[in-house]
């Protein structure tokens, strides 16, 4: 069993990326719903006011795209403002955590406390361009920023550990 041990410093940037990762699915679904509602409302209103079908559809699509873009922008801005507020109020601060793996699971050690996560209790693992997210629950994860690994070879070792120890159905990582 290859072991892995590394200390990561979780920064505001990492917290923002994690929040954006979590809101991604909800935002896509909400955006699609907003697009359809706006398109239907504007299209029907324009058509009822006597506009041709093509003009009604064009107006509906333009307004739906604009409305969806505004929704996405508002979500991004409010997330950034909320995270900045947490950091300014010291509700969140940068912190370091050491992750160590063995045959039983992953141990996290930090000034916030220690925790053991057996391999079979990991809810999900998601790899993005910037990080590994090891989900403890559906909405809470340990963050391992990729830019803090020593290199691609260490990322590959960690990926192999995950593939060996976490059920394949719970993994969404780059396959080697």
Place of tokens 């920064």: 11
Domain ranges of the chain: 5-10+93-172, 12-88
CA distance readout (Å), 10 to 38, 64, 68, 69 = 39, 38, 32, 30
How far is 51 from 63, CA to CA, in rounded Å?
15
Binned at pLDDT 50, 70 and 90, residue 119 comes out as very high
- Averaged pLDDT, 109-129: 93
Beta bridge partners of 98: 7, 109
Give me the pLDDT at residue 30, please: 96
pLDDT value, residue 112: 86
Average pLDDT of the segment spanning 79-95: 95
Among residues 151, 150, 149, 117, the alpha carbon closest in space to that of 134 is found at 117
Percent above pLDDT 70 for the chain: 98
Residue 176 has pLDDT above 80, yes or no: no
- Mean pLDDT of all residues in the chain? 94
pLDDT digits (tens, 9 = 90+) for 139-154: 899 999 999 999 999 9
Total-model pTM: 0.84
State the pLDDT confidence band at 1, using cuts at 50, 70 and 90.
very low
Residue of 111, 113, 66 lying closest to 93 (CA atoms): 111
Q: Average pLDDT in the 29-50 region? A: 96
At residue 3 the predicted structure's pLDDT band, cuts being 50, 70 and 90, is confident
Which numeric CATH code is attached to 5-10+93-172?
2.30.29
Average pLDDT over residues 40-61: 95
Quick one: average pLDDT of 124-135? Answer: 96
């Amino acid at each position: 069993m290859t072991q892995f041990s590394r200390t990561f410093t979780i920064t505001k940037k990492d917290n923002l990326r994690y929040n954006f990762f979590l809101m991604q699915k909800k935002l896509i679904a909400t955006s699609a719903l907003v697009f359809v509602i706006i398109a239907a409302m504007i299209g029907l209103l324009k058509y009822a006011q006597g506009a041709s079908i093509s003009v009604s559809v064009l107006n509906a699509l333009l307004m739906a795209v604009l409305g969806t873009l505004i929704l996405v922008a508002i979500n991004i801005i409010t997330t950034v403002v909320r995270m900045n507020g947490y950091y300014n109020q010291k509700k969140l601060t940068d912190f370091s955590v050491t992750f160590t793996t063995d045959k039983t699971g992953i141990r996290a050690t930090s000034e916030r406390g220690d925790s053991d996560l057996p391999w079979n209790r990991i809810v999900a693992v998601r790899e993005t361009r910037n990080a590994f997210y090891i989900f403890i629950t559906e909405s809470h994860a340990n963050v391992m920023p990729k830019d803090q690994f020593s290199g691609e070879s260490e990322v590959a070792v960690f990926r192999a550990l995950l593939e060996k120890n976490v059920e394949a159905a719970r993994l969404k990582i780059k396959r080697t």
